[in-house]
Structure 1
Amino acid sequence: MAKAKKTPGKAAAKALSWLKLGALRADAAAKAVFAQTEARIGYVRTTQRLLAHKPALLLAQEGLSRAVMRDPDGTLSDRERELIALVVSSENRCQPCVFGHAAELRRITGDALWVGKVEVNHRHAELGKRERAIADYVLKITRAPGEIEEADLAPLRAAGLADTEILEAAAVAAYFNFSNRINNALGIAPNPEAYAARR
């Protein structure tokens, strides 16, 4: 009897990444991260499952993510933080983060078309002066960090951002450049739940 042929792509679709790490034995701290994420967004991110093979890295990334995205003392809006995440992640072609943060922006705005425009090119999306200044700044952080100079802060200040908000915007952009690079370097699979959400 002939063996059934494997459907191309099926195994790859189930893999977390290009790595071959074996079965995960998540420790209590990793399980707590998984539970918190599932309670908040309805599923566990593929990146979290992969990083759980290095629990200290998972916890460090989760801590930094919370510090920049859910800062109780921060004054950037959730929409602004997610805009930064999406602009940076789109520029870096990071599928897990583009899918995840587009879904979150769709939740916040209820406007899937606007979010789609941001995904492709934020300059073609309807942005206010403040949002445009933030998006242009974080794009430069992503594309040419060595070329940033003090004058690059002027459009942000002119758009009404306080210096503490500029600090927040830079931190969010820097964090996503870090997480995007881990995802891209290891071929971490995007979550289909995020892609499908709120379309």
Structure 2
Amino acid sequence: MSDQVHEPAGTGGGAAGPAISRFPVADPAGLPADLAERYADVQERSGFLPHVFAALAWRPDEARAFFAMNDALMDKDTPGLSTGDRELIVVATSAANGCAYCVVAHSAIARIRTRDPLLADLVAVDWRKAPLDDRVHAVLDVAVRLALDPAAVTAADLDRLRQHGLTDDDVWDVGAITAFFALSNRLAHFAAIPPNPEFHLLGRIPRER
């Protein structure tokens, strides 16, 4: 029974849609008003609702907190850490954690935010060989080390990031993004959330309007 999947109605063929979680999936019609508004906005802008939204909806307080943290960390550009750089942190650390959902979903966002259709794929396979400048290479070096062996990250690593022009806020964000998406990676594994098929083409071909 541990792998029992609760499927949402009306999201695919037949009476039930594709399995997107091992846990209950809330009926979109019954969402609290604030979440319903956010979910509708995401679906309108993206053309689909990412599975992680649907998978978290049955725990509304946690869904709100999750998306608030995501927005605070990911939706800002600073001189030392662009929105594209932030997405590459997620791609590299999620690959290190073996999380297919986050690699596929955030590679799609990275393609859009970096305006590069290839870079996220290269980072996901082996960020060390990706065509990154020294600043982003240092960022991913520290982030992946934090994801895999937190105790191995030293004060010298943080100073190295500062030497590449990151402020203390930026350095904190490197750690916070890595830590936050480690949580996301593990929840996606735990609930067996698959990536939406739509993510695979985002940022590769022009979107139909």
TM-score range, shorter chain: 0.7 to 0.9
Is the 2:25–2:54 contact (alpha carbons within 8 Å) kept by the matching residues of 1?
A: no
Listed as ranges, the gaps of 5+ residues in structure 1 are 1-9
Identity %: 32
Is the 2:94–2:182 contact (alpha carbons within 8 Å) kept by the matching residues of 1? yes
Residues 70-89 of structure 1 mapped to structure 2, 5 A cutoff: 70-71=75-76, 76-89=81-94
Question: Distance between the aligned counterparts of 1:62 and 1:163, measured in 2?
Answer: 23
Higher relative contact order (CA 8 A, sep 6+): 1
**What is the correspondence of 1:1-199 to structure 2 with a 5 Å cutoff?**
14-19=18-23, 21=24, 24=27, 25-71=30-76, 76-199=81-204
Check 1:139–1:99 CA distance in 2 against 1; reply closer, same or farther (3 A cut). Answer: same
Residues 72 and 152 of structure 1: CA distance in aligned 2, closer, same or farther (over 3 Å):
closer
CA deviation vs aligned residue, 1:46-88 (integer Å, no higher than 9, x gap): 1111111010111010111111011477862111111111111
For the residues of structure 1 that align with 2:60 and 2:38, how far apart are their CA atoms? 10
For residue 18 of structure 1, report the CA deviation from its aligned partner. 2.4
Q: Aligned residues, how many?
A: 189
> In terms of mean alpha carbon deviation, does 31-40 or 114-123 score higher?
31-40
In 1: Cα distance, 2:49 partner to 2:79 partner: 26
TM-score by length of 1: 0.85
TM-score (norm. length: structure 2): 0.81
Alignment partners' CA distance in 1, 2:71 and 2:86: 12
One-letter amino acid of the counterpart of residue 153, structure 2: I
Give the unaligned 5+ runs of structure 2. 1-12, 205-209
Q: Letter of the aligned partner of 1:155 in structure 2? A: R
Structure-1 separation of matches of 2:77 and 2:84: 15
Cα deviation per residue 1:136-191 (whole Å; 9 max; x = unaligned)?
01101100112222122132122222222101211111111111111111101211
Q: Secondary structure at the match of 2:118?
A: helix
Alpha-carbon RMSD = 2.3
Q: Is the 8 A contact 2:21 2:192 kept in 1?
A: yes
CA distance in 1, matches of 2:152, 2:89: 19
Runs of 4+ residues over 6 Å off in structure 1:
10-13
Return the alpha-carbon distance in structure 1 between the equivalents of residues 176 and 119 of structure 2.
25
Which has a greater percent of helix? 1
